[in-house]
């Protein structure tokens, strides 16, 4: 159970998510999001939201980070930091996608000033979750 992020990892994740947020392709909403995943081996994978003229084809920063990490061979994560202007929590679809790989991960919402708005286990953000084990 990862309920503690080391100060060093916290700092690295916030820096990574804040930096990648600047690359967000958010020409429709102007709402830029950056996400940084901490893999269990200590590596960090980042992603930003990528919008599209066909609005529903856009992807959130959290799923963008998951795609980047899985593409690089990482599948186990202990935490994710999401940076937005107002420190929001991941959307429902992203909670589900994070749950696929790291149901026990620590989720942190940070604003662009570095202020932490919430932090808690993904299990609290996605109670009674549906997962791979339910497909038996």
**Which of the residues are catalytic?**
62
CA quadruple 48, 72, 89, 6: dihedral sign? negative
Span of 14-22, 29-37, 115-123, 128-136 interacting with ligand THU by CB under 6 A? 29-37
Burial string for 24-44 (b: 16+ CB within 10 Å, else e) reads bebeeeeebbbbbbbbeeeeb
Span of 2-10, 57-65, 98-106, 110-118 interacting with ligand THU by CB under 6 A? 57-65
Q: Which helix (H) or strand (E) is 13 found in, with range?
A: helix 7-21
Q: What is the largest CA-CA distance in the chain?
A: 45
Nearer to ligand THU, 9 or 51 (CB): 51
Q: For 57, phi and psi rounded to 5 degrees?
A: -80, -10
Nearer to ligand THU, 78 or 84 (CB): 84
Span of 1-9, 23-31, 96-104, 113-121 interacting with ligand THU by CB under 6 A? 23-31
What is the pattern of x (binds ligand THU, CB under 6 A) and - over residues 81-100? ---------xx--x------
Q: Tokens 């932090």 map to which residue? A: 119
Q: Does 103 bind ligand THU (CB under 6 A)?
A: no
């Amino acid at each position: 159970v990862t309920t503690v992020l080391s100060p060093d990892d916290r700092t690295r994740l916030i820096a990574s998510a804040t930096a990648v947020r600047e690359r967000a392709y958010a020409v429709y909403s102007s709402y830029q999001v950056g996400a940084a995943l901490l893999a269990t081996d200590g590596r960090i994978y980042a992603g930003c939201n990528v919008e599209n003229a066909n609005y529903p084809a856009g992807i959130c920063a959290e799923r963008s980070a998951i795609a980047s990490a899985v593409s690089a061979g990482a599948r186990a994560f202990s935490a994710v930091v999401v940076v937005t202007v107002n420190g929001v929590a991941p959307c429902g679809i992203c909670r589900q996608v994070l749950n696929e790989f790291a149901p026990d991960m620590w989720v942190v919402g940070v604003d662009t000033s570095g202020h932490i708005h919430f932090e808690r286990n993904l299990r609290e953000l996605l109670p009674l979750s549906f997962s791979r084990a339910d497909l038996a």
